[in-house]
Structure 1
Amino acid sequence: MTTSFSTSLRMRSTRTPPPDILRYILLRLPVKSLLRLQSVCKEWRSLIQDSDFNHSYSHKERLIVVSESSDTPRHAKLNRFIVSSVNQNFQLEKVYYFTEHLSLLNGTYFHRRHVLGSCNGLVLLSVDTHIFLWNPSTRHCIKVLEHECLKYSVRGFASGFCYDSSRGDYKAVLLLPHFVIVASLRQKEWRQVSFPYDLLSRRASLHFRNIFHLALNDVRFQDFRYSGCEKIVYFDPVSEKFEVLPTSKVKEGGINIIGALGVIQGCLSMALYENHTIEILTMKEYGVAESWVTLYTVSWLQLLVGSYCRVTFYSLKNNVLIWYWGERKIFVIDMMTKERQNVLGGIRDENIVDTCLYVESLASPHEYTWVYEQHKHFSKKIKWIQPTFEKMNEVEEGQQ
């Protein structure tokens, strides 16, 4: 009787849970655990690698900071290209070099590095003309695109990265001084899309809920950039059009400026600059104009930023992390005490290249692998773009 009972108990303990329960459990585990559990059996491996599971899985939000080594010259080789992970308490948690992913570029010097955006746990990075799709959680990385404009320093540059659910494809967006181009990671062909605003009026950008957002002015011409109304627009990856997000708190024709975009407690937020104060508002219900509420009001002096700087901010609880692009500074402000403190002690401010908020995921970049033949097919179509940037670059270098 005892033997029979123990045998039955042992059989029950090793029995696989029903698929629905197993999926529920696995979706709540961290990425490290899921990577180990793939080796348990074929059934578990198949479930964890399933595309529907990967799109459903999202875990902790993390901030990555791309920087250069403090002991390396500005134009050193890529082996000093560093990515640091910041936890939810804004403490530096992991530091690793990006060299391991870019062996195909060895022997080349690199000057331009950008985080182009994040979506579904994947991060789009550019190193000179090369664009890479990288999963910081699994460390998988491949080259997916390239474009000549990325090796030039041009004013007004911005970028976006989003997912087209109707086609199961990711899209990269490059906002350049005079036009906007989009490329599918599968088709790998750049196309120009309509942008009915002044690109140089852009002051902030943000990826939120896998959608690329911009804060700008609705006037097309630079000379009148502050005579129109401040807007937040977002890029619809399905229609490939820019749509307006309602912002009821912004006064039309007023002097208030949307100086920054951010995420506070999981909600899209903005910093509204007016009369030497910064009002931080959050959109409690995405897409609903009446859901904007004011959380904090601080002075410009407390943040040490001006109305023309480029700022992104992230927040959990009462702390707001500020990424100030103009001076390459990153710090935290406690919105209850209004006290400011520097963070990331291991990274010097002047070495910070970019920041990006992402969620831990198992999404794989490998199905979007770079195919040179695809790019070669359309490279002639973009030759008209290159002289434009070469001329811009010469002008900018002459002004420095």
Structure 2
Amino acid sequence: MSILPPEIITDILLRLPVKTLVRLQCVSKRWHALINHSFFINNHLKLSIAANRERKLIVLDSEVDPPLNFFWVDFNDDDRFGALVNIRQPLRHPRYINDILGYCNGVVCFDNCDGDILIWNPLIRRYKKLPFEPIEKPSGITDCESGTPDLSFGHDPDNDDYKVVRVVQFHRNFDDIRAFEIKVYSLRRRCWKKVEEEWPKESRSYSDSVSLNGAFHWLFDTLSGTPDDMGTILAFDLATEKFREFTIPVLPAYEDFNLGLEVLKGCLCVCVNVGVTLNDFWVMKEYGVFSSWARLYTIVQGAVPWTFEYCKPLVYSKDGKKVLMEEVADDDTYHFWYDIEERRGRTVQFYPMPKLFKTAICVGSLVLLDGDSVNKNPAEGLNLLVEAMEEVIHEEQAL
């Protein structure tokens, strides 16, 4: 390998899977420095996203009480899935429930009811635990209690930083909200910071947040309830720490409905659940432009062989003709591929299949390579080096 120019070596390494690259850190100090450099990590990630490389579903089994077990499922190029494989995660506790807060760029953020928050790369078994941050009551607010924190996770591309936003409401009773506290954790700075910008709404959102274009987004119901009123999306820019609002065009067409906010193929997606009748999906094709909202497709009862309620879109298939959906009905979780042209769903099965679960989608990523290791067995070092060199030889022979 020493006879190859450095740029050729870098180009070869950028094409390798993350498991191999983690092992190759043991080859030399030069390779260790290269693989750990932010330039290499970011370019490897860009190639992974562009090619949907090393796609996996990360599955949190919610059937057990409390949910502790994480699995992954290989997401193959033919849009088929492998068997569930149990993976070691760094936040196991016999009494505390885990929950997935969000995911992007191959990393997953999750917490438990004891207040622990972790950012975790399951493919390379590395993580970083956030420091404890107390909830501070705003000045002038007395005789109030704090509600359950609303946590959001995403990437700030302007600063190449991963951030967690915590929104806490203070109220005398559930309907009498008096104030909000907003804090942001920066993985780059490794600290929490209080946001001076005030929460611009009179209530908390009724949807989970989603991360897109360096901002968090929440869905809000109408305030006036008039037929001409439209719902709004509140966005919080992670770089500027400022709020803005978008209008959604879907409310006047429905009477009895529920809304959800998702991200699908780089676009904000509003999902409208009309009872047990249909699910309607709208996307904002041009970010921040109201006129770019368009109905993408509609799923009606009969498209799948069970009664569904809210269907969550996860990802497109390789050919872009199908969407992987997640749906919870009668305390069971289902995944199915929805064919947009044929307007039919095909059930996806994992083995062994949990009854109730949550999922995140990951691609091959070296983000958090400098984090703490979930696997702390030093005897693995020699085996990793031997396996790494064998894979390098195979890669060279294939070129």
Aligned Cα RMSD in Å? 3.9
After the TM superposition, which residues 180-329 of structure 1 pair with which residues of structure 2 at under 5 Å, given as runs?
181-185=182-186, 186-189=189-192, 191=194, 194-197=198-201, 199-208=203-212, 211-217=215-221, 219=223, 228-245=229-246, 247=248, 250-251=249-250, 255=254, 259-265=259-265, 267-273=267-273, 276-299=277-300, 302=303, 304-306=307-309, 311-316=312-317, 317-324=320-327, 327=331, 329=333
Alignment of 1:152-191 (within 5 A): 158-165=150-157, 169-176=161-168, 179=180, 181-185=182-186, 186-189=189-192, 191=194
Identity %: 25
Matched, 1:332 2:336: yes
Q: Deviations over 1:286-335 (max 9, x none)?
A: 444444443322225647444xx584533323333323357452321432
Residue in 2 that maps onto 1:109: 94
- Per-residue Cα deviation, 1:163-205 (whole angstroms, up to 9, x for no partner): 3455554321234565453232435336365332355552354
Matches of 1:137 and 1:30, distance apart in 2: 10
CA distance in structure 2 between the aligned counterparts of 1:260 and 1:214, rounded to whole angstroms = 9
Q: Please give the alpha-carbon distance, in whole angstroms, between the structure 2 residues aligned to 1:321 and 1:202.
A: 24
Alignment partner of 1:96 is 2:90: no
Once the two structures are TM-superposed, the CA of residue 135 in structure 1 deviates from its matched residue by: 0.8
Deviation at 1:124, TM superposition (A): 1.4
CA contact (8 A) 1:258 1:272 kept: yes
Structure 1 unmatched runs, 5+: 1-12, 370-400
**Deviation digits for residues 125-162 of structure 1, max 9, x if unmatched?**
1122111121112101232234689xxxx998743112
- Alpha-carbon shift at residue 342 of structure 1 (Å): 4.5
Cα distance in 2 for partners of 1:285, 1:25 equals 36
Distance in 2 separating the partners of 1:168 and 1:234? 19
Q: How does 1:53-92 map to 2 (within 5 A)?
A: 53-58=40-45, 59=48, 60=53, 61-68=55-62, 74-75=65-66, 80-88=68-76, 89=79, 91-92=81-82
Moved more, 128-137 or 254-263: 254-263
Between the two proteins, the alignment pairs up a number of residues equal to: 332
Question: Aligned in 2, Cα 1:367/1:246: closer, same or farther, shift over 3 Å?
Answer: farther
Against the structure 1 CA distance between its residues 133 and 251, is the aligned structure 2 distance closer, same or farther, given a 3 Å change threshold? Answer: closer
Structure-2 change in CA distance of 1:165 and 1:204 (3 Å): closer
Query: Does 2:107 align with 1:122?
Result: yes
Question: Which of the two has greater helix per residue?
Answer: 1
Amino acid of the residue matched to residue 53 of structure 1? Answer: F
| TM-score normalized by the length of structure 1 | 0.67
Partner of 1:36: 23
Task: Write out per-residue CA displacement over residues 77-96 of structure 1, whole angstroms, 9 at most, x where no aligned residue.
Answer: x8x52233351525245522
Distance in 2 of aligned mates of 1:234 and 1:110: 35
1:364 Cα deviation from its structure 2 partner: 1.6
Q: Which runs of 5+ in 2 are unaligned?
A: 136-145, 171-179, 374-399
What CA deviation, in whole Å up to 9, does each residue of 1:213-249 have, x standing for no partner? 3333253xxx9599842233333111223333465xx
